Structure 1
Amino acid sequence: MEEKDLFEKLVGQQIGNYDFNNKNLLKQAFTRRSYTEENGGENNEVLEFIGDKALDIGVVRYLVNKYGNAPSKESLNQMKWLGQKYEDEFSCELDEGELTQLKQRLVQKDTLARRIDELALADYLVMGKGDELSNRSQEKSVKEDLFEAIIGAIAIDSNWDFEKIQEAVEVMLNPDSILNSGEEIDYVTLIYQWDESFCEVPWFKYNDGSYRYTWYMQEENTVYQSWSEIDTLEKDGSGPITKRCYVKIRDDLPTFVGFGRSKNEARKYACKTAYLYLEENDLFFTIKDEIDEPTLEMAINQLEILARRDYFSLPKYVAEERHDENGNPVWQVSCSIEEFDVSYTIESSSKKSAKKEAAFEMLKYVLDNYEEE
């Protein structure tokens, strides 16, 4: 597969498999001005501007669907087929101020940058040499720009098809996970985090069509969303189930399939199916998997590695020197970590040795006692 085709495939499956008519627009969305200043061509700045407005539209449509009583496109088509008209007044659970706060929360810089990180899309940015040397791809503002530019490219390519814009926004933004406030498990993020432990990104593929046909024509080495869950989803009256999502999280594991009324919902159930499989087969990555083998010589570095990966805060060391009756130096070094109620203190004639031993004792403790949130 050519590099260009591979780029389109890798990026496309993270943004909902939107199929660009103009493939150059996708590439342009990833091209920074610093590159075009050195090499010519078009960059993503105007696409960012367009994407900023298109993102607002996608988010507002999502909020209206979530909290309002406006019928879905499928419901309107069904009413038209039955010869009915939609004549209800529009009502919403939230007022204008509450909707504004939620919209701001969904489109803020930190949110967009975090999603770009989870989707692992910043790695594909095309930048000038100066930006590359200063590692600008890791700046939140650059990631925010990239998110908006991708949405802008889709808006232009689809001729402002609001359905397709909203679909891409929901897949990339995963807004349910942001607004649920812990009320519902965010299986999509959990699957991304599981794959991140192996330096990988989950692979997604989306299809339209009847879930019943897919269910009865089950593929080998594929795990499907439970029938009872699909049945419950179908009976809740929110519209027909017309989307399915395939997710592959590792080559040696099955493909997982979920169904829903949108790509975002189908992805949620595909990831839930994958998560339940991992749970059932005891395949969760734990803190112990981060360290091949705790050793005295590497204990200080190993503790810091775990801290840098956000398991806990950086360890603190307190060293005090005193002398024994013969005047020889005796070092006392304590190691503590904010999240744990214990500390370890070691005495040695060598400050370095005392620090190593204190770190080693703390390392053994956290590996045995760390609890995943």
Structure 2
Amino acid sequence: MDVLEERFGIRFKNRELIKIALTHSSAGLGISNERLEFLGDSVLQLVVSRHLYRRAPSLDEGELTKLRARFVNKNTLAQVALRAHLDDLLTLGDSLKKPGEAPQLSILADAYEALIGAIYLDRGMKMAQRFVRFTLLREVSNIKFERDFKSELQEKVIKTFRCYPNYRLLKADGPQHAKRFRVEVKVNGRGFGIGEGRSRKEAEKEAAKKALLSWKSLKGRQQGR
């Protein structure tokens, strides 16, 4: 327990919570981390959601949900638990102990969430948030939070019209070091948006963005054909 407290700089008032958080039901000790894991999962979801909400103001609800799922999943949380060496501190039943092997991913992920729950109960939300930032959210800091306009448009077009958007190069002019590209995105042969950029990829992204901005009117025109 001392190792854990020193590792993360957290001093528990009720150290029994650490023991419970790191005890799997298979140990048969009459305690398990399942309830703390339930609580910790909710705290983790809130901390990550708030972090992404503040860091990515351009993303909508669906995109934020997808991004959160990249971090709050069993595989990622298990890797975080391994980096924190929680596997060395877990109390497991003999049937789950395999010499030289780490515990199952789900067991590691649950222990990480249970520890978050224990920190929340013992030290409050501020300390739980600090722990999540230190162990998990450092990985988020270098990500560029940009909307994927082309993927978003493609999803809408497939769902609505059962086809794919088509991008057509209209113009590419200017000197080699400063070319400008003009691209039109079409659906069923009808123009949905025109974009310009310093590369074809940038122009396609801008065209998709324009199409999304006027999606409702474009959708009505297309369906009315």
Q: Show the 5 A alignment for 1:97-136.
A: 97-133=62-98
Letter in 1 for 2:50: R
Q: Which runs of 5+ in 2 are unaligned?
A: 146-225
Distance 1:115 1:182 in 2: 21
| Residue 21 of structure 2 is aligned to residue 21 of structure 1 | no
Q: Deviations over 1:61-83 (max 9, x none)?
A: 2223323xxxxxxxxxxxxxxxx
Distance 2:23 2:87 in 1: 11
Shift of residue 51, structure 1, vs aligned partner: 0.8
| Residue 9 of structure 2 is aligned to residue 47 of structure 1 | no
State whether residues 23 and 32 of structure 2, in contact with CA within 8 Å, keep that contact through their aligned partners in structure 1: yes
Shift of residue 177, structure 1, vs aligned partner: 2.1
Letter in 2 for 1:11: L
Query: Alpha carbon RMSD of aligned pairs, Å?
Result: 2.3
State whether residues 29 and 153 of structure 1, in contact with CA within 8 Å, keep that contact through their aligned partners in structure 2: yes
Distance 2:143 2:4 in 1: 29
| Residue 4 of structure 2 is aligned to residue 11 of structure 1 | yes
Please give the secondary structure, in 1, of the residue aligned with 2:91.
coil
Please give the secondary structure, in 2, of the residue aligned with 1:56.
helix
Distance 1:114 1:13 in 2: 20
Q: Deviations over 1:24-66 (max 9, x none)?
A: 101111111111x2xx332111111111111101111222332
Aligned pairs, number: 145
1:176 corresponds to:
138
Distance 1:66 1:29 in 2: 30
1:33 corresponds to:
25
- Structure 2 vs 1, CA of residues 125 and 20 (structure 1 numbering), >3 Å: closer, same or farther? same
Please give the secondary structure, in 2, of the residue aligned with 1:138.
coil
- Structure 2 vs 1, CA of residues 182 and 61 (structure 1 numbering), >3 Å: closer, same or farther? closer
State whether residues 47 and 150 of structure 1, in contact with CA within 8 Å, keep that contact through their aligned partners in structure 2: yes
Identity fraction in percent:
34
Give the TM-score normalised by the residue count of structure 1: 0.36
State whether residues 62 and 166 of structure 1, in contact with CA within 8 Å, keep that contact through their aligned partners in structure 2: no
Shift of residue 151, structure 1, vs aligned partner: 0.5
Please give the secondary structure, in 1, of the residue aligned with 2:97.
helix
Which structure shows the higher helix fraction?
Answer: 2
Q: Show the 5 A alignment for 1:259-270.
A: none
| Residue 121 of structure 2 is aligned to residue 156 of structure 1 | yes
- Structure 2 vs 1, CA of residues 131 and 43 (structure 1 numbering), >3 Å: closer, same or farther? same
Distance 1:135 1:157 in 2: 33
Greater relative contact order (Cα < 8 A, sep 6+): 2
State whether residues 48 and 152 of structure 1, in contact with CA within 8 Å, keep that contact through their aligned partners in structure 2: yes
Distance 1:118 1:103 in 2: 20
1:138 corresponds to:
103
State whether residues 18 and 118 of structure 2, in contact with CA within 8 Å, keep that contact through their aligned partners in structure 1: yes
State whether residues 32 and 44 of structure 1, in contact with CA within 8 Å, keep that contact through their aligned partners in structure 2: yes
Distance 1:118 1:33 in 2: 23
Distance 2:25 2:101 in 1: 12
1:57 corresponds to:
46
